[in-house]
Structure formats: structure tokens, C-alpha cells
């Protein structure tokens, strides 16, 4: 009877370890990184300037580039307004720009981090996109 319990316990342990190995093998690895964007001031008059800065990092690609995109009043497609320099991974890819508010409404900004496989790669991959930040134009 003692050998039967021991055998059952051994089989249960081997089964649990095997199941854990299968689960760990099927779970994808996730790249570490982040992207942040800052917009100041949050409220401006027509003709004033809004400053936008963004920085991002990711370990999924050897080279990185951060761009700031804009759209007005939440309508239409996002358009790139400024990109930083292509940098080697391990450092923050940064960009900073100023936008002159031309019309009343809401300016929306987001940062996009692109990954490149080489310094001359012509097919970047969008790695991360920041949350949307806004500036109200009165």
C-alpha cells in the first residue's frame, strides 16, 4: 500500500512539472519598454505655442525612433509632425517640438515608437504608441 501511494505521488509530481513546462513553453515573451509624452501648456489661445516632448525605449529592436503625431478635434488620420533621431537600443529615443495653435478646438498628440533592424532599415515596425494627450485652444 505504501508503494502505491508513493508511486501515485511521483506520477502526480511528474505530471505537474510536465504541464508547467508545456505552459511556459507556449507563453510568448514580451519585450520591455515604454513611451511617454508631455504636452504643455494644456490650454492656449489661438496663436500661442504648445510644447510637446516624448521619449521611448524598447528592447525588441536594435534601433529606435520616436515620432510625435497630431490630429485636430479627434477627426481624421494622425499625421506625423516631428521625429527624433534614430538611436541604438539601450537609450531613450527622444523628440521635442513646438506647435502653433492656429484654430479653436482640441489638439490631440500621441507618441509612436518605431523599431528598426538596422541603421538603414527601410521597413520600421511600430513598437509602441502612447496614450493621447490634448491641448485646448480657446
- The predicted model gives 48-55 an average pLDDT of 98
Tell me which of 42 and 7 has the higher pLDDT: 42
pLDDT digits (tens, 9 = 90+) for 11-33: 555 555 555 555 444 545 566 88
Cα first-last separation, the chain? 84
Banded model confidence at residue 1, pLDDT cuts 50, 70, 90: low
Cell triple for 105: 478646438
Assign 3-class secondary structure to the chain.
CHHHHHHHHHHHHHHHHHHHHHHHHHCCCCCCEEEEEEEECCEECCCCEEEEEEEEEECCCCEEEEEEEEEECCEEEEEEEEECCCEECCCCEEEEEEEECCCCEEEEEEEEEEEECCCCCCCCEEEEECCCEEEEEC
What pLDDT does residue 105 have?
A: 96
What pLDDT does residue 16 have?
A: 55
CA within 13 Å, CB half, 23: 6
Mean pLDDT taken over the chain = 87
Cell triple for 120: 538603414
Stated pTM of the model: 0.76
pLDDT digits (tens, 9 = 90+) for 89-134: 888 999 999 999 999 999 999 999 999 999 999 999 999 999 999 9
Amino acid at each position: 500500500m505504501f508503494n502505491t501511494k508513493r508511486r501515485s505521488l511521483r506520477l502526480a509530481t511528474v505530471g505537474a512539472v510536465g504541464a508547467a513546462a508545456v505552459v511556459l513553453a507556449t507563453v510568448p515573451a514580451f519585450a520591455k519598454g515604454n513611451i511617454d509624452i508631455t504636452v504643455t501648456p494644456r490650454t492656449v489661445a489661438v496663436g500661442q505655442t504648445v510644447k510637446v516632448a516624448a521619449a521611448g525605449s524598447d528592447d525588441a529592436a536594435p534601433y529606435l525612433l520616436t515620432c510625435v503625431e497630431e490630429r485636430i478635434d479627434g477627426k481624421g488620420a494622425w499625421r506625423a509632425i516631428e521625429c527624433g533621431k534614430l538611436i541604438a537600443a539601450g537609450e531613450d529615443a527622444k523628440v521635442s517640438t513646438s506647435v502653433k495653435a492656429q484654430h479653436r478646438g482640441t489638439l490631440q498628440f500621441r507618441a509612436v515608437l518605431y523599431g528598426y533592424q538596422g541603421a538603414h532599415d527601410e521597413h520600421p515596425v511600430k513598437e509602441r504608441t502612447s496614450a493621447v494627450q490634448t491641448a485646448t485652444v480657446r
